[in-house]
Amino acid sequence: MRGLVGKMDILLQQGTVLDLEMILPSYVDLFPEQERKTTSVLKTLLDSRDYILYKIVSEKYSAYMGFVLLLQLEDLSAIWLDFIGIDKTYQGYGIGSKVLDLLKNKYSRGYNGMYFEVECLDENPDTARRIKFYEKFGAKDLKVDYTLPTQQGDLPMLLYYQPLSSEQLPSQKEVVELSHTIYSYECINVIYILYVNLVKLSFDPITKVKVSKQYI
């Protein structure tokens, strides 16, 4: 099977809210509960024209292999890669690499780069493999204080950037604007400006130290 899957032509087939039922089993299986969005939130997001669902399928065999969920940020000339999930049946065959190549080719015109969040390095070997995988494709850790608010509490994350049409990394202003946009839809019933301020302070370590001392 490995040889067969490795030679398959992979397509990104744009889906709709009606395709949620197809991707939900792998979505739940691949991502921890605290990082997942609820089905109702996904439905609301997919009703907007900027939040896109792609089904990863085989061109020849029409086999479902996984999904991509992303947000097109035209004002920022950037993409927010929310989730990329390869069904466990097809993991280990290079499908993820092909999907990233397809995304880079698709969005290299009109979009400067692609942002995404990754779990902070921990004892889980999957985390290290995931970081290595993205960095192999040229993704850069922006090294800012980025936190994912969840119902279980704040989850520290790494904020990465994958250049698309330009190798230049985003400016401080662009990163802050990105965080403001992402937190505005990630943080339901949360005062998200507090998280945006943490990102801002990442670029000003002196101010950050002063603010930290206020709470000692």
Domain boundaries, given as residue ranges, for the chain: 2-213
Cα–chain center distance at 172:
19
Q: What pLDDT score does 167 carry?
A: 86
pLDDT for position 213:
35
| Residues 99 and 107 sit within 8 Å (Cβ to Cβ) | no
pLDDT per residue as tens digits for the range 104-132: 999 999 999 999 999 886 767 778 888 88
Would residue 68 be called left, alpha or beta, if left means φ above 0 and alpha means ψ between -120 and 50 degrees?
beta
Give dist(CA 100, CA 185) in Å, integer.
Answer: 24
Identify whether the C-beta of residue 134 lies closer than 8 Å to the C-beta of residue 84. Answer: no
DSSP 129: H
The reported pLDDT for the residue numbered 201 is 82
User: So what's the pLDDT on residue 180?
Assistant: 86
Cα Rg for the chain, rounded, in angstroms? 18
Q: Which residues of the chain have pLDDT under 50?
A: 1-4, 206-216
C-beta separation of 113 from 164 below 8 A: yes
| pTM, 2 dp | 0.85
CATH class of segment(s) 2-213: alpha beta
Cα separation of 181 and 164, whole Å? 20
Q: So what's the pLDDT on residue 7?
A: 62
